[in-house]
Amino acid sequence: MSKTNGAIPLLGFGVYALAPDVTELAVGRALEAGYRHIDTAQSYRNEAACGAAVVASGLPRAEVFLTTKVTPRNFAVGKMLPSLRQSADRLGVDCIDLVLIHYPSPWDELPLEVYIEQLGEAQEAGLAAQIGVSNFTRAQMDRTVEILGPGRLATNQVEIHVYHQNRKVVDHCRKLGIPATAYCALARGMLFGIPEAGLGPHPLLLELAAKHAASVAQIGLAFLLAEGHVTLCTATDPEQIADNFAAGSLRLDAQDLASLRGLDMNKRIVEMPYFPIFD
């Protein structure tokens, strides 16, 4: 598996909204398919299931990259490091490969400095090999770099897919020399159309899928990978897990990429009242 920026594997398996028993089974299948990057979060309540699946896989610890995210309830002074020790215990590791701030403190209840400084302390204490953020605007990224110092921010995980390419945030990540990490990479199924409305996939996606003898999902994922994003996707069906992973071997040409960039509609799917409005 190719890697980028501090050896974050480009293609990751996410476990958002999966129950612990489903998570353990799905992560096991993902590792069998070839995934080596598992993305979870404290708020998902399935860190222990991820850790159990890694142990059951028999893979050496060094071969599996684990990401988790700190929930805002653990942002207060003195709370983050103990919470991450618990996360590490649930994951069955001494050091978590990548720890992210899940999203900024809702409605700026806590100043950015309070939790970003603790994030830096977690890395210094050896709880996190790399640190980053999620759902941060350009201004919040800049302030994070000011607080942490240069060279420490590993990524900003935000919603990115062909219908919401989040270009200003992505461009700012590139300016900072870090990859963006794309969640909702398949637009939570929107790439496959809206069956209840009688709509199938966009004709361009079908055209490119036929051209490359690939699935629509593979086209969507291969696009994000070609754009240089760390790309996360979720599935539970073994065939879909393997199909998604195979996107890592699909190469789109320059015209394909230009056409897919034209599908951007700024169509954000994850709308939470406490998430910042992206630039």
Residues with catalytic function: 44
Q: Which two tokens stand for residue 65?
A: 């990259």
Q: Which two tokens stand for residue 226?
A: 């070609």
Q: How far is CA 56 from CA 18, 27, 166, in A?
A: 18, 10, 37
3-state SS, one letter per residue, for 107-119:
HHCCCHHHHHHHH
E strand spans, 15-79: 37-39, 65-70
Q: Which two tokens stand for residue 30?
A: 């993902």
- Rounded distance between C-alpha atoms, residue 164 and residue 178, angstroms: 19
- Rounded distance between C-alpha atoms, residue 207 and residue 186, angstroms: 17
Q: What are phi and psi of 230, to 5 degrees?
A: -65, 130
Residue 141 CB-density burial (10 A; 0-12 exposed, 13-18 middle, 19+ buried): buried
39 pairs with which residues across the strands? 14, 67
- Rounded distance between C-alpha atoms, residue 167 and residue 87, angstroms: 32
Q: Which residue from 67, 83, 65 is spatially nearest to 125, judged by alpha carbons?
A: 83
- Rounded distance between C-alpha atoms, residue 168 and residue 115, angstroms: 24
Specify the residue for token string 């490359």.
Answer: 212
Q: Which two tokens stand for residue 240?
A: 């879909």
